[in-house]
């Protein structure tokens, strides 16, 4: 599908400099530009490429002023924020490439389930009893939608994802391939013989609107009540969210984060990759957890923590500097010890 510079500028509210009839039919990084491609420039580190790129159209900030001639084949679209506008175009492109409504065979929809208009249901997908599927939902092949599950309007369930019984998915959520939502929480009690007895997990998982869950992440159902992921939360691939956890609005976490049971994570928290958060604690709104940190106790302020156990970032930097100097310090202590022994040696 082709778009002209004029059309793109209209979508973004931008100003065309160059040929308004220049067309593009694909996207490319500015350093990998090809004829017919649309690129963007927002980071000054990449400015050198705009003078040699082969792309046909480039989105730039209104503040951008070329320091030398740009290619004659390149048309600029100037906007207030090039990065945000390019992201907006990617969203438009994503929506246009969304699957057309249809139900592929073989697939299964329970007689007691209700499905809205505009459903795409891929082959070998399953929708259980009393499930409620909103309008314009896409459920890709091999996805499993359990009994009594609710999925809100415009949500996308990618291939191989499983949503267990009684779980609720809000509007415009994206559940990527291999995600498991609503598997049992890790609940076991040892008996008198030291053998573990399973504690039934009878709660559910609730995802509010605009939540995205990355591939192969897992969100466990609550023992009782609900594991809750609030509006706008973004979860990367390979994350583990345990039973009865609550994650506040617009919090984001990178890959391989693990959150233990009943932890409460505030709003607008940022958690780096491979961080671990112990159970039954609270993380304050706006806190930041640096990658590979371990958090064993509650974080009461919007601090940035690093290390295991996590401490204030500036304290960690000072401590790490001391740790790196430790071999030198130990050598000095050893030298001082020898001198002391020599000075105090009894003839």
Bridge partners of residue 282, in order along the sequence: 264
**CA-CA distance, 326 to 86, in Å (whole number)?**
48
Instruction: For residue 51, give the 3-state DSSP assignment.
Output: helix
Count how many residues are written for the chain.
Answer: 347
**CA-CA distance, 114 to 134, in Å (whole number)?**
8
Which of 158, 176, 243, 280 is the catalytic position?
243
- Reply yes or no on whether 280 is catalytic: no
**CA-CA distance, 292 to 211, in Å (whole number)?**
24
Residue bearing tokens 């491979």: 274
Instruction: For residue 8, give the 3-state DSSP assignment.
Output: helix
* Residue 215: partners with Cβ closer than 8 Å, 6 or more residues away: 158, 176, 177, 178, 179, 237, 238
Neighbours of 92 (CB within 10 A): 14
* Residues with active-site annotation: 243
């Amino acid at each position: 599908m082709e778009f002209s510079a004029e059309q793109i500028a209209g979508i973004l509210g931008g100003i065309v400099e160059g040929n308004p009839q220049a067309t593009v039919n694909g996207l490319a990084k500015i350093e990998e530009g090809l004829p017919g491609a649309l690129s963007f420039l927002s980071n000054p580190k990449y400015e050198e490429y705009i003078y040699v790129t082969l792309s046909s159209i480039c989105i730039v900030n209104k503040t951008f002023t070329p320091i030398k001639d740009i290619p004659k084949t390149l048309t600029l679209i100037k906007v207030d924020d090039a990065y945000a506008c390019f992201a907006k175009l990617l969203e438009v492109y994503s929506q246009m490439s969304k699957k057309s409504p249809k139900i592929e065979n073989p697939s299964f929809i329970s007689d007691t389930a209700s499905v809205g208009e505009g459903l795409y249901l891929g082959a070998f997908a399953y929708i259980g009893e009393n499930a409620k599927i909103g309008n314009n939902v896409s459920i890709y092949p091999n996805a499993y939608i359990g009994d009594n599950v609710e999925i809100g309007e415009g949500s996308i369930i990618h291939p191989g994802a499983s949503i267990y019984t009684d779980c609720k998915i809000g509007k415009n959520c994206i559940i990527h391939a291999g995600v498991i939502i609503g598997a049992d929480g890790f609940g076991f009690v040892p008996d008198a013989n030291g053998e573990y007895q399973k504690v039934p997990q009878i709660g559910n998982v609730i995802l509010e609107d605009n939540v995205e869950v990355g591939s192969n992440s897992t969100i466990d159902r609550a023992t009782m009540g609900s594991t809750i992921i609030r509006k706008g939360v973004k979860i990367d691939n390979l994350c583990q969210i345990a039973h009865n956890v609550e994650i506040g609005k617009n919090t984001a976490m990178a890959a391989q984060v693990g959150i233990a049971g009943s932890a409460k994570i505030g709003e607008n928290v940022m958690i780096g990759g491979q961080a671990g958060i112990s159970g039954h604690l609270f993380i304050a709104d706006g806190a930041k957890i640096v990658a590979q940190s371990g958090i064993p106790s509650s974080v009461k302020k919007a601090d940035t923590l690093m290390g295991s156990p996590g401490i204030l970032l500036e304290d960690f930097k000072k401590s790490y500097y001391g740790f790196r100097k430790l071999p030198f310090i130990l050598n000095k202590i050893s030298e001082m010890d020898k001198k002391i022994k020599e000075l105090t040696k009894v003839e």
